[in-house]
Chains A and B, each alone.
Chain A
Amino acid sequence: MSIAPRKPPLQFALRLKRALGGKAGWNGLAAQIAFAAILAWIAYEIVANARANLETQHIASGFGFLNYNAGFDVNQSLIAYNNSDTYWRVFFVGLLNTILVSVIGIVFATVIGFIVALCRLSPNLLLSRIGGIYVEIIRNLPVLFQILFWYLAVLAALPAPRQSISIFNTFFLNNRGLVVPQPVTEPGLYPFIAALAVGIALALGLRRYARRALFQRGQMIRIWPYVLGCLVGLPLVSMLMFGGPLKFELPQLKGFNFAGGARIIPEFVALTVALSTYTGAFIAEIVRAGVMSVHKGQMEAGSSLGLSRAATLRLIVVPQAMRVIVPPLTSQYLNLTKNSSLAVAIGYPDLVSVFAGTAVSQTGQAIEIIAMTMGVYLLLSLTTSALMSVYGWRINRSMAA
Chain B
Amino acid sequence: MKRVSLAVILAAAAALSVQAASAQTLKTVKDRGQLSCGVSQGLPGFSAPDDKGNWTGIDVDVCRAIAAVVLDDPTKIKFVPLSAKDRFTALQSGEIDVLSRNTTWTVSRDTSLGANFTGVTYYDGQGFMVKKSLKVNSALELNSASVCVQTGTTTEQNLADFFKGNNMKYEVIAFGSIDEAVKAYESGRCDVFTDDASGLYASRLKLANPADHIVLPEIISKEPLGPMVRHGDDQWFDIVKWTLFAMINAEELGITQKNVDTMLKSDKPEMKRVLGTDGNLGEQLGLTKDWVVRIVKAVGNYGETFERNVGTGSPLGIARGVNNLWNKGGIQYAPPIR
Contacts and interface: CB of A to CB of B under 8 A. Distances in A.
Given A341-B1, A342-B1, A358 B151 contact: yes
* SS class, residues of chain A in contact with chain B: helix
A358 B172 CA distance: 13
Contacts of A383: none
Nearest to A65: B112
A347 B173 contact: yes
Interface in B1-46: 1, 3-4, 7-8, 10-11, 14-21
Interface residues of A, number: 56
Interface in A163-222: 175-176
A57 B184 contact: no
Contacts of B174: 72, 74-75, 347, 349, 353-354, 357-358
A360 B189 contact: no
Interface stretch (B141-149, B242-250, B269-277, B308-316): B141-149
Contacts of B261: none
Given A53-B17, A59-B113, A342-B1, A356 B7 contact: yes
A125 interface: no
B161 interface: yes
Interface string B88-114: 110010000000000000000101111
A310 B105 CA distance: 68
Interface residues of B, number: 61
A155 interface: yes
A335 B312 CA distance: 51
A267 B175 CA distance: 11
B289 interface: no
Interface string A153-165: 0011010100000
Contacts of B153: 361
Contacts of B143: 255-256
B180 A347 contact: yes
Contact of A72 (B156, B170, B176, B183): B156
Contacts of A83: 157, 160-161, 164
A159 B183 CA distance: 16
A366 B89 contact: yes
A363 B1 contact: no
B144 A255 contact: yes
A46 to B, nearest CB: 7
Contacts of B87: 361
A357 B231 contact: no
Contacts of A364: 88-89, 92, 109, 112-114
A71 B160 contact: yes
B171 A257 contact: yes
Contacts of B88: 361, 364, 366
Contacts of B76: none
Most A CB within 10 A of own CB, among B14, B19, B174, B231: B174
Contacts of A349: 174
Given A74-B172, A256-B146, A54 B160 contact: no
B108 to A, nearest CB: 8
A344 B3 contact: yes
Contacts of B231: 57-59
A192 B71 CA distance: 78
A289 interface: no
B84 interface: yes
A133 B183 CA distance: 31
A360 B176 contact: no
Interface string B259-303: 000000000000000000000000000000000000000000000
B119 interface: no
Interface in A43-86: 46, 49-50, 53-54, 56-60, 71-75, 82-84
Interface of B: 1, 3-4, 7-8, 10-11, 14-21, 84-89, 92, 109, 111-114, 134, 142-146, 148, 151-153, 156-157, 159-161, 164, 170-176, 180-181, 183-184, 187-189, 191, 230-232
25 contacts: A50-B16, A56-B19, A57-B114, A59-B231, A60-B111, A73-B160, A73-B170, A152-B183, A155-B184, A156-B187, A176-B146, A257-B146, A257-B171, A259-B144, A338-B1, A344-B151, A347-B148, A354-B174, A356-B7, A360-B85, A361-B84, A361-B152, A366-B11, A366-B88, A374-B8
Given A50-B15, A56-B19, 12 more contacts: A49-B15, A49-B16, A71-B160, A72-B159, A74-B172, A83-B164, A176-B171, A255-B144, A256-B191, A358-B152, A364-B89, A366-B10
User: 3 smallest A-B Cβ distances: which pairs?
Assistant: A361-B152, A59-B114, A50-B15
